[in-house]
Amino acid sequence: MNAAGILVVDDEPQIRRVLRSTLSMHGYVITEATTGEEAVEAVRKARPDLILLDVNMPGIGGIEAAREIREMSDAPIIMLTVRNAERDKVIALDAGADDYVVKPFGIEELLARVRAALRRYAPGDEIPTFVAKDLTIDFENRQMTVRGRDVHLTPKEFDVLKHLVGNLGKPMSHRRLLQAVWGPEYGEETENLRVVINQLRKKIESDPAHPKYILTEPWVGYRFLAPKVNPAKPASRKNS
């Protein structure tokens, strides 16, 4: 198996040096960038398997860079930042980030996050294509069509949707979804999940405020339902 390529994006030389040394020692191939613009160009050229992206940088910054990267790559993005407010996490997740690590961070924790992100992104057993009247989800090719229009999903949105559809009709708890998609160390970060669910509803539901596919199970989690289709009644025939 080829070594995974990681793009390290940070304007602080000492942080890049530590990350390059540590990640290289664990077998990863490292590419570096110092600004958001350089990060976008590096993703376009090098196609890394994972991006470690600092939020506060010169130029367009990490959040805008994440948005641009997400337009051309499904590679996991782990945001690095000194901010720990919930609102900052929501902004990062909305921009397409998969995870969020607060500085100063422990190297072992970061390595665990990297391994978990790469593991979740690796191809696995696919579930069958879901087909409904106005929704088609091709899990093998990571494609979705809503009311005849192709709709892009971020990796996190895709993974959450895959677990919900894979358990069609069954309620999935917040903890189970968080640990399946974000990793075993998660379980209480319901805001992360809420952001993704809201984004999925905006992309899938004709009326996101009254969803018919992704339903909320109060105090439990979420459930994915296939809407019932009323069978057509046969035309009545009069006696001739």
When pLDDT is averaged across residues 191-209 and rounded to a whole number, the result is: 93
How far apart, in Å, are the Cα atoms of 42 and each of 12, 20, 62, 75, 219?
A: 17, 16, 14, 13, 43
Task: Kindly state the percentage of the chain with pLDDT values over 70.
Answer: 90
Using pLDDT thresholds of 50, 70 and 90, give the confidence band for residue 239: very low
Q: For residue range 126-142, what is the model confidence (pLDDT) as tens digits?
A: 678 899 989 999 988 88
When pLDDT is averaged across residues 52-68 and rounded to a whole number, the result is: 90
Q: Alpha-carbon distance 115 to 120, whole Å?
A: 9
When pLDDT is averaged across residues 75-87 and rounded to a whole number, the result is: 82
Task: Give the torsion through C-alpha atoms of 201, 205, 208, 211, to 10 deg.
Answer: -100
Q: Alpha-carbon distance 228 to 144, whole Å?
A: 20
Task: Give the torsion through C-alpha atoms of 128, 201, 63, 96, to 10 deg.
Answer: -10
Task: Kindly state the percentage of the chain with pLDDT values over 90.
Answer: 44
Segments making up each domain of the chain, as ranges: 5-121, 130-224
pLDDT at 240: 37
How many other β-carbons are positioned within 10 Å of the β-carbon of residue 141? 9
* CATH architecture, range 5-121: 3-Layer(aba) Sandwich (3.40)
CATH code for residues 130-224: 1.10.10.10
The answer to whether 163 and 117 are in contact (CB under 8 A) is: no
- For 232, which DSSP code? P
Interacting residues of 144 by C-beta distance below 8 A, sequence separation 6+: 135, 136, 137, 138, 150, 151, 153, 161, 203, 204
Q: For residue range 171-191, what is the model confidence (pLDDT) as tens digits?
A: 888 988 888 888 767 778 888
